[in-house]
Amino acid sequence: TNKADLMSTQCTSSDTQIRAKLAKELVLDFQGGEITSDAGLPLLAAVDKKLSFFDRIASCFKDYRDSKRIEHSARDLLAQRIFALALGYEDLNDHDLLKRDPLLAAIVGKKDLLGKQRSRSRDTGNPLASSKTLNRLELTKEDSGPQERYHKIVCCDDKLESLLVDLFLESYSKAPRKMVLDLDHTDILLHGKQENRFFHGYYDNYCYLPLFIFCDKQLLVAQLRSSDGDPMRGVIDELSRVVGQIREAWPKTKILIRGDSGFC
């Protein structure tokens, strides 16, 4: 036997019969069928079912598309993208493969899990949206409307920002006596020439510098910012909005604001 034979892998895709003294015939079949490596999806779907999460997120968007000519609702597009992000698929081009995942399709809410009934023949076998369709969702501008050709799903920022606080408030059975709002920012490293790309001396790299506000482990604010300004940018406006929303529900709760020296 030469070295090449030792290194090669012997594979078979045919059935193999095991001949032994058994009461029944035993067959090994190597045809795996439709499989997925994302077994955590049902757990995430249970969270969505309890909170009606994606229905509520979809209510924060205006969809100007003709409903008779689309196969993926705004709710389905958002669910597909956010579920994938939660699983670690950050890039849109990951959906060139994920669009064929039957489990993700089932969790999103698709009935045609194998994409056999798509209206266009070129989409057959893909129950979910492609990266190009999701790209149109993400690139829609705030002032887009029915006149746009492709980018017609507009995010209502005010509603989406309020939703995070609403979910936080609903997680309590009664108003707490006191609470702590933590201010924080961190770097999101950039590996290309993205818009508003600046070098940050402290993090020694090109990055964004988003603002976060937490209460314990719950996120109330996530504001994307460039790294070329003061960490305090936008903090007062966001605190005023969040605290005002909390005060409407819990007027007697004591609120403590906490931040490091970067927030003065």
Percent share of the chain, pLDDT over 90: 64
CA–CA separation, 79 vs 73, rounded Å? 10
Residue 251 reports pLDDT greater than 90: yes
Residue 73 reports pLDDT greater than 70: yes
Label residue 247 by pLDDT band (50, 70, 90).
Answer: very high
Label residue 77 by pLDDT band (50, 70, 90).
Answer: very high
Q: Which phi-psi region, left, alpha or beta, contains residue 19 (left: φ > 0; alpha: ψ -120 to 50)? A: beta
Nearest Cα neighbor of 209 from 191, 194, 228 is 228
Instruction: Tell me what pLDDT residue 8 has.
Output: 60
Instruction: Tell me what pLDDT residue 245 has.
Output: 97
Instruction: Tell me what pLDDT residue 21 has.
Output: 63
Residue 165 reports pLDDT greater than 70: yes
CA–CA separation, 239 vs 221, rounded Å? 9
- Per the DSSP assignment, residues forming a β-bridge with 255 are 179
Residue 175 reports pLDDT greater than 90: yes
Residue 10 reports pLDDT greater than 70: no
Label residue 56 by pLDDT band (50, 70, 90).
Answer: very high
Q: What average pLDDT does the structure give for the chain?
A: 88
Instruction: Tell me what pLDDT residue 19 has.
Output: 58
pLDDT by residue (tens digit) across 107-120? 999 999 999 989 88
Q: For residue 180, what is the DSSP state?
A: E
Nearest Cα neighbor of 109 from 55, 153, 56, 181 is 55
Residue 73 has a CB neighbour count (10 Å cut-off) of 17
Give me the mean pLDDT over the 168-185 stretch.
95
Instruction: Tell me what pLDDT residue 190 has.
Output: 93
Give me the mean pLDDT over the 94-112 stretch.
93
Q: For residue 155, what is the DSSP state?
A: E
Label residue 261 by pLDDT band (50, 70, 90).
Answer: confident
pLDDT by residue (tens digit) across 219-233? 999 999 999 988 889
